[in-house]
Structure formats: C-alpha cells, structure tokens
Structure 1
Amino acid sequence: MSNMADHFLYGEDYLTAGIALKIAKGETKGIISKISREKIKESRKVVENIVDKGHPVYGINTGFGPLCTTKISKEETKILQNNILKSHSVGVGDPVDNEIAKLMMILKMQSLSKGYSGISEKTLDRILWHIDNDAIPIVPSQGSVGASGDLAPLSHLFLPLIGLGKVVYHKKIITTKELFKTTGLSPLDLGPKEGLALINGTQFIAAHAVQIVSKLHNCLSQADIIGAMMIEGLQGSVKPFYRELHNLRPFKGNIHVASRIKSLLKGSEIMEDHVDCDRVQDPYSLRCMPQVHGASRNAWLHLKELLEVELNSVTDNPIIINEELTISGGSFHGQPLAMAIDYACLAASELGNISDRRIYLALEGNSPGVPKLLMKDTGINSGYMILQYTTAALASENKGLCFPSSADSIPTSLGQEDHVSMGSIGGRKAIKVIENLEKILAIELLTASQAFEFRKPLKSGVIVDEIHKAIRTKVAFADKDRVFAHDIEEGINIIKNKTIITIVNQISKEKNISVETEFSNEFEVY
C-alpha cells in the first residue's frame, strides 16, 4: 500500500475487503496515483486511435451483445455510450443499501484505474467526487444475471454521470439535476467505449461479496466465543478441543476453532468442577464445534481468497492491451465469485443450524444444575421456550435460501450470452442468510448467558467472565417471563457491534492471554 496509511492508490495498491470498507466508511481516502493516471491516458489514446482508424472493435465502434456486427460511425460513437447507460438501466426492486452502492464505485475505480479499459481521467475523477462527497446513486437490487457484467445495477450506478438518475446526498434522495444545481456540476460527455467500460464488470457481485466476507467473519468469530460460553453453561467437556485430536485431521478451520475455544475455557473453575464426572461425551452441537465452525471458516477463507483476486482484476470488456491488441473475452463473467458465494451462504446457514441445536440443548434441562427452559419457576412461566421457536424459524428460512444460485442459468441477449452466473442473486441471498444468522447467534448469546448464571458462584476464565458481565449490563437475568423481543434486539446489537470480540481483544491484551493460532492471520485479516 502507499506510504500514507490513510491513503489508497487506485490501480496501484492491493485492494482487500477490509480496505474497501474503510474507504466506504471514510476512514481511508482513495486517490488515483500518477502511475495509474499515465496508464489511463495511454489506454484512452488507444481507444481514440481505434475510432479514428475505423477498424471494428466490439463496443467501441460496434453495437452491443447480438448487435456486435452492427458498425457505428465515428460521429455516433459518443451517442452510443450515453444510450447504453439509458437502455441498460432496467433494474427493479428495492434499492441496495448505500454501502453496497458506494462499494460498487470503489471497486469499479480500482478496476478501471489499472489502465486496460480505455476510460478517461475526467470520468474517473467524477466517480471519485461521488465517493469522496458521499453522493451515492440509487441502485435497484434486481435485474442482473451476473454475466456480461452486472449490467443493470452498474447502469443505474452511473446514470448520474450523464445527469440522470437519483442519488442519496446529505441523507436525502434527490434527482441528479438537483445535485448539479446544488454543487455546480454538469453532465459528462462520455467518449467512445466509456459507457461500456462503466457497466461491464462484476462490481455488484463483488460489493456483496465484500459485505459477506465482513459480516460472516464477524459471525464466525462470535460463534466460537458464544459456543465456549455455552460449553461452560452446560458443563461440556474441553477434551474435544485438544490439539492432539485435531492434529490427526488437520483442517485449518478445525484447528483454528478448537484452539480458540480451548483458550477461552482456560482457567475456568466451571470446567474444573466436573473434570471427573461420569458423562462420556457431549452431543454433537457442543463436541463438534471445531468440525462444523471450522468447515464454515474454510468456506469463508475460500471466498476471501477469490474475492481478493477479483478486487484487483480488470473485469470489463473488451480489454485494451496496446495499440495492436484489444481482446473481447469473458472476464465479466461472475462464475468464479458466484460459486464461492453459494458456498459461503451454505457455511453461514450451517453456523446458524448448529447454533439453534445448542439453544435447544440448553432448554432440555439435562445438564446438572440447569433447569428446564432455563428458568426455575416454570408452568406459570414459559422461560426461554419460545426463543428457540424463532431460531428454528430462522434456521429453516436459511435452509430454503441455500439453493445455489450459480446452479442456474438462463440465456440472454438473443443467445449471445447463453450462460450466466446468477452471482448477483447469490450475493443478495447470502447477505439475507447472514442477517438471519446474526439473529440466531444473538439468541444463543442470551441463552448461553442464562445457563451460565446457574454455575455461580463458580467462575469462568477471565475472558468469558468479562463477556458475561458486559452482557448483563444490557440484558438482565430472567427469573420470570418478560417481553423477550427487547432482549433479542439488545443481543442483535451486541452481535452487530462486535461487542464481545472487542472484549476478547482487550482482555487478551491486558492479561497477556493468547487466543491466536498459527492460522490466525488467514482467518482474522480481511
């Protein structure tokens, strides 16, 4: 990355999901480097020369898709670029959230700044203005099939460049005309190939993948911590987390999860209290956390690795290599990310599935000292019974959303585009599954905290004890029924705000307690 930690050089620096999110949140400023600007100028000059010479090159002086054999005159090449933004703006459905739309612009800046797309500096500078000034275009969520680029959403994203569409500016939705009146900007006059370069690419899919990597990472980290608390609440065994076991089946995710959970349980009086008990082994939802959480970790890592390739690639078409070579290929096809997103979607669903099983286990009353339904005075009180109904509903909904979008393909563009990825649908679906997972984990956090109370006066290790104290500042112990929806909302906020991750990090640092593994860099940095 560039020397200044708060700057990112588009086209030159290596982009990750974490850096993209920092730019989107305004924590890092993206700029176009001098080196990138030179490449952009050279690429633009090649396009202009192609137009002058009149040699047919797809999308520069020909029509699009099945109209690729239709020659466009030099005079009409500019009209063609405006028309493509208009004609391809066919999105429907609710708008994507602002962060997704902003990420799309950030990711498109990185791709176009590589200098292989024939875009002009003035167009990139205008996109940069939108990012820096939080003038975020309204982008409908439906309409992309994830091949030949995310055409419809990217068209809507860039309508404001030519004075059309709407944006969110100063927290209000306004027309681009109103934006221009407020800011003194005026519509751009797009040159040859620019419209096509803007809308051809995988940035809608990739922007969703950035959020998936971030949100799923958050859930994975907290699932291990909540699982450790549940083990203590139900007095499960620590032996299934021994490294000696996992060295014999050394999947990276398994070893990582087992090591983290064992570290969190270290020094626990609760675990020591039943070291010689008669129970031989725990149900799978406790005992197999390394295997199940670990498999989801591996799926997350797979998506993260593929996403980083995509974020630093050129995905429009045609590609301008040099004056002699332009290539009309298929780098806009979303299949590489689409399949990995479907895998991550399944990983998220399974994390919720096993979490729901632990919640159910906690309610059964089979753990010594823990009452049925996690409340002593039941009958008049239902205790935590109905919370598990909610997690069952969410887990079931997630299963229904797990059908792989990438398994489907419907031909488009009169058969010219006869295989498409549907990664755009997979991305939206995976986000929904992860949002449901956050709710399931919130309910497990409440359930584990309630079970944990019945182990007092025994103490856990210092980290889990501090986590429990923090939860109790938000959600009180329940000795009788109340409106648990309020507790669930608090739990969801704890999950989304990464509260317990922050506590783990703080206590680990203060007490010099290691919860790291040799794979931590792979699994924790994104």
Structure 2
Amino acid sequence: MRIDSAADLDLSDSGPIELSAALIDRLRATRAAVLNALATGAPVYGVNTGMGALSKVRLTEAEQRIHQRNLLLARAAGGEPWLPPAEARAVLMGRLKTFLTGDSGVSPELCLQLVAFLNSGLSPAIPAGGAGSAGEIIPLAHAFGPLAGIGSLLVDGAVVPAAGKLPSFELGPKEGIALLAGIPGATGRAWLQVSVARRLTDTLSLTAAGGIAVIGASRDPYSPLCARGDELLAAELEVILRAAGPEAEPRSLQAPVSFRVAGQVISHLRRSVLRLEEAVERAFTGVTDSPAFLDGDFVGTAGFHGIDLAAHCDQLVAALAHAAEVSTARIHRLLDPGVTGLSAQLAVEPGPQAGLVTVHKRAVATSHYLRRLALPSAIGALETSAGQEDVQSFSWEAAGVLGEAVRLTREVAACELLAVHQAFALSRRPVPAGLRELFGAVADVVPPIVADRPFGVDLARLLDRLV
C-alpha cells in the first residue's frame, strides 16, 4: 500500500505500507517548522515542561533530551489481558494515520519507524483495559515503547522484551508526547468493529427473514408502506420481504412481536453502525493532538476527549444488546410447536431428545451478559493528576466494550441461525431463493441434526465460517 496522504491509509489493508517521497518531503518540511518554533524557548506542554499537574515545571536542555523517551516509561502501567494482534495493529495504524496529517509535527523518520513496526508483523503488548486518563496515555505508552527499544511484544502468546527487535531509534523533541496524544487507539479499535458489525447485521437480517419464512408469518409488517419517513427502515423491510419470500397462507394473523419488529430492530442496528463509522471518520479527520502544530503555532487542544466516539460506541452496544435480546426471543418461539407447527424444541423425537433447548439457554446467558455491558462508558468521571485531569470520556474503554458486545452478539446470531436451519429441516419447507446461499452454507458446515449432540461444536463452526 503506497501512501501519499493520511486519507490513503486504509486500515483494512494488511499488506506492506510504503510512504511516498512527496509525503516524506511534506512531513520533513513540517518537522523543520516545528523545530524552528521550539528553538524560541517558549513553553510547549510536554516538550520543555512537565506533564499534567507538573506542567509548570520547566525542563533543562539536558532533561529535555531524555524527556520524550521517559514519557513512555512510567506511563506503561498496564497489564494483562493484552489486546489481540488485530486490535494492536489497528492501534498502530490509527497512530500512523494521525501522524500523516502533520498535526503532531513528528519527523518522517519516526513515521518510517512506525511503518517498519507495522510491516514487521510484530505485535506490541497493549493492555486491553486501564486507560483511566483524559486520553489514552497508558495503552499508548505500551503500544509505542517498542519504537524506542523499550516495552514488550507478544510473540506466540508470550510477552518478550522489545529491545533489539526493531531498528534503534532515538525520539526527538515532541515525539514522545506525540506518541501519547489523542485517541488513535480507541479510533482504530472502533474502526475495526465497524466492518465486523456490518457483516453481523447482514447475517441477523437474513436469519430473521429465515425465521419469518419458516414459521409462515404474515408479511404485513414488512411492507415498505409501514416505513413512511424512514428510508433506512424501508430498505431493510424490502430486504427482509425479498429474502423471506411471499406467504399465501400465514399461520396466524400476527406472528410473535420478536418476528414482527425485525425490520425496526435491524435498521436501528444499521443506523448505529453508520453513525459510529461517521464518528470514526471525524476522529481521524479532526485535531486530536495536544499540543497540535497548527498554522505554525503550538495549540493546546481538547481533541483527546473522545466523547463523540465513546457515545457512538455506546449507542452501538445498546443496539447490539437489543438485537440480541430480540434474536433470543425468536429462538424461544422457534422451539414452540404453537408458533411453528413443528416438533417441540425442534427435536426429531421430543422427550427422548432435548432438541435445541440448551442452544436457546446459551443465547439467554449471552444476552444477559450483553445487557450488563450496555451501561454508557462515558459515565463515571474521576479526578486524576492532582485535579489537572478531572474528567474522562473513557473512549478506550468504550471501544473495548464494543468489541465484546460484537463478539457476544455473534454468538446469539449463531444460535438463531442454527435454530432456523433446523426448523427448515423439520418443516420440509423449501428455503426461499433469497436465503439459499446462506442456509446452503450452513448445511455445508452443520451435519443434519437427527439426534442430540454437543451443539457447541456446530455453533463454533458457524462462528468460525459464517457469522
């Protein structure tokens, strides 16, 4: 991937990264301006001063020479559990993307060191929790210490010292604080979940359509006429109606609510994913460094307060929790002969066989866990740094909760997908044309269910390949 500007950096590209000569020249010009501005001796937070409550302390020239590296030392106060490699890479990519805007004023050599880190395939040991600051200084200190030969890496699941694993690099003026500034980690991690959540939403939509088809539900609630004033809902209803196909003889005048509201639930989930994607774009486009180098001056900013990103992560978590609860309710209804006209609990021989009752129970437990995650992350600010940092947005934590919520909702979706698959098998109804690709893929990984077995194995296959 050849990069000419920050906009060119695609976080989904896992291939090698190369910065163009023109981009390197622009970074070098900005760096020269930064060094000229610093040469005046005017106070610049975190460069020739202390940090936080110690920002009034001026540093000597000797102290400044080691200060940027020292910033990464004491702030690396986190611990296990560590982020998985995909999330760690998203953090590094997020930082590189912000550096390429020029706001940080770092050297092209630091950017190239970061590129070398990404291209190496090495993964820094970044704590999943414990940010606790107005920005992300604790996890970012862990993430970028290896650039300066300190900190740790994860190699085959083991934590090893980073020293000697990357080319030696000495951080210059402002480069340590630049590595710790803003919310690149939460932004990168949130971006990572957007694409997963979008695929998950598609699966939930088609799975719900399968349930609607297999129980012979009335198609009235899915008429686009019911979506007046809401284009997103209208589009979702059309998707569900097309996938489920027509039903000439509904089993009842009204299906259970969990089936009837599928369009509203899933379109809300899509809207929440879209809003988070927009918040991620704002975070990457906006100014989050502090101090940022803007129009030739160092400007103290509040861009590290990622409330916009945190709030939209929280909104998506709530949407996922609701979608999972509705999905869990549909699973329960699919086990009911009064709703489906099929055998109890979708067992081939009810009584001697338990059927899928415990699959529903797993979904219940998972939904309950999801519900506990739905408390907004941004609530609960506490003072730190002797009152200098008296509020936080907890965007790092919000991104982490979102990742967990996506994982749990995928589990529930797999449970519903398995139940709908078995309901089709027992009903002998033909799978509608719009659902044949999905349920054909399910049949490829789930053998026919003719007796009880450890259904966790089937769910694991669905999670690994389809959900």
Q: Same fold (TM over 0.5)?
A: yes
Structure 2 match to 1:159:
145
Deviations 1:72-99 (A, max 9, x none): 1233212110111112111122110111
Contact 1:352–1:440 (CA under 8 A) maintained in structure 2:
yes
Shift in alpha-carbon separation, 1:81–1:477, aligned structure 2, 3 A: same
Q: Against the structure 1 CA distance between its residues 10 and 134, is the aligned structure 2 distance closer, same or farther, given a 3 Å change threshold?
A: farther
The farther-off stretch of 100-109 and 477-486 is: 477-486
The answer to whether the aligner puts 1:143 opposite 2:130 as a matched pair is: yes
Of 86, 89, 93, 2:73 maps to: 86
Deviation at 1:307, TM superposition (A): 0.6
Please tell me whether residue 206 in structure 1 is matched to residue 187 in structure 2: yes
Residues in 1 aligned to 2:69 and 2:340: alpha-carbon distance in whole angstroms: 71
Between the aligned partners of 1:171 and 1:145, the Cα distance in structure 2 is 25
Greater Cα offset, 366-375 or 410-419: 366-375
TM-score by length of 2: 0.95
Q: 1:27-176, aligned counterparts within 5 Å?
A: 29-145=16-132, 147=134, 149-168=135-154, 173-176=159-162
Mapped partners of 2:285, 2:275: distance in 1? 16
Q: Is the 8 A contact 2:217 2:252 kept in 1?
A: no
Kindly indicate whether residue 198 of structure 2 is the aligned counterpart of residue 217 of structure 1: yes
Q: Select the residue among 465, 468, 478 that pairs with 2:449.
A: 478
Residue of structure 2 in register with 1:177 after alignment: 163
CA distance in 2, matches of 1:86, 1:358: 51
Contact 1:338 1:406 in 2 (8 A): yes
CA contact under 8 A between 1:410 and 1:418: conserved in structure 2? yes
State the shift of 1:368 in Å: 5.0
Letter in 1 for 2:386: L
Supply the distance in 2 between the matched residues of 1:277 and 1:104 (Cα, whole angstroms): 51
Query: Is the Cα–Cα contact under 8 Å of residues 61 and 72 in structure 1 kept in the other structure?
Result: yes
The amino acid of 2:119's aligned partner reads D
User: Could you tell me which of 217, 220, 238 is aligned with 1:259?
Assistant: 238
Deviation of residue 261 (structure 1)? 0.9
In structure 2, distance between residues paired with 1:50 and 1:308: 30
| Partner in structure 1 of residue 292 of structure 2 | 319
Q: CA deviation at 1:172?
A: 6.8
Provide the rounded CA distance (Å) in 2 between the counterparts of 1:419 and 1:196. 20
Amino acid at match of 1:306: A
Q: Which residue of 2 aligns with 1:9?
A: 4
SS of the residue corresponding to residue 128 of structure 2 reads: strand
- 1:119–1:423 distance in 2 versus 1, CA, 3 Å: same
Q: Kindly indicate whether residue 269 of structure 2 is the aligned counterpart of residue 290 of structure 1.
A: no
Match for 1:411 among 374, 383, 396?
383
Distance 2:362 2:217 in 1: 25
Against the structure 1 CA distance between its residues 92 and 277, is the aligned structure 2 distance closer, same or farther, given a 3 Å change threshold? closer
Change (3 A) 1:170 1:41: farther
Structure 1 residue runs of 5 or longer lacking an equivalent are 1-5, 497-526
Do the aligned partners of 1:233 and 1:455 also contact (CA within 8 Å) in 2?
Answer: yes
Gaps of 5+ in 2: none
Q: Matched residues in 2 for 1:170 and 1:189: separation? A: 28
Q: Give the CA deviation at 1:419.
A: 1.1
User: Partners in 2 of 1:85 and 1:238 — Cα distance?
Assistant: 59
Say whether 1:487 aligns with 2:450: no
CA contact (8 A) 2:217 2:250 kept: no
Greater displacement, 353-362 / 404-413: 404-413
The whole-number CA distance in structure 1 between the counterparts of 2:309 and 2:133 is 10
1:124 CA drift (Å): 0.9
8 Å contact from structure 2 (residues 331, 416) kept in 1 = yes
- Tell me how many residue pairs correspond in the alignment: 467
Shift of 1:40: 2.0
Deviation at 1:229, TM superposition (A): 0.9
2: CA distance between counterparts of 1:78 and 1:214?
A: 42
SS in 2 for 1:141: coil
1:435 paired with 2:422, answer no
Q: Distance in 2 between matches of 1:50 and 1:7?
A: 31
- Indicate conservation of the 8 Å contact 2:92/2:185, yes or no: no
1:21 matched to 2:12: yes
Match of 2:252 among 263, 279, 286: 279
CA–CA separation in structure 1 for the residues paired with 2:255 and 2:65? 69
Q: Deviations over 1:451-480 (max 9, x none)?
A: 112332x42332323432332222123232
1:162 touches 1:189 (CA, 8 Å); kept in 2?
yes
Deviations 1:239-279 (A, max 9, x none): 21111221x2x32432232111112123xxxx44xx24462
